[in-house]
Amino acid sequence: MTEPAAEESLSDLFGAVARGLRRRARVALEPLGVTPSLSRALSVLSELAPVRISTLADHLHVAPRTATELVDDLAQRGLAGRRPDPVDRRAVLVELTAAGDRAVGDIRAARDAAGERFFAALDDADRRELARILRRLRD
């Protein structure tokens, strides 16, 4: 196993790999007409919906206004809808439509395929080792 060049720190290498993976994911989403931001919003909605926009904003780490704009875009595309919150009539809940549910599946498949192509350079042992290291860093 080769050591990183002196000018390349682990942080630099990790950042470069992460950028490469994000770039491939972005390219994989283009045929679906979905941006990475919309993809993240759909993913959160698929797990939490129905949810208030403020909660969506918290999970996306964006301002509520940005979350509102994302929901507007999703609604315009027919991927999400709004309905009154039965607990607080002043609030609105956001949920995926059937088309939104299908889009989440399509996005996951496209991202998984892009990831498979990205990691194809690694053999099974390297993949297991990388997964082990990443889990350790994550935890």
pLDDT in tens, 25-82: 999 999 999 999 999 999 999 999 999 999 999 999 999 999 999 999 999 999 999 9
Domain ranges of the chain: 17-138
Residue 108 burial (CB < 10 Å; 0-12/13-18/19+)? middle
Question: Is domain 17-138 annotated with CATH 1.10.10.10?
Answer: yes
Reply yes or no on whether the pLDDT at 4 is more than 60.
no
pLDDT of 89 = 86
Contacts of 28 (CB under 8 A, 6+ apart): 110, 111, 113, 114
User: Can you give the pLDDT at residue 55?
Assistant: 96
Give yes or no for residue 6 having a pLDDT over 70: no
**CA-CA distance, 100 to 95, in Å (whole number)?**
9
Could you tell me if 80 and 92 are in contact, meaning their C-beta atoms sit under 8 angstroms apart? no
pLDDT at 2: 57
Q: Are strands 80-84 and 51-52 parallel, antiparallel or unpaired?
A: unpaired
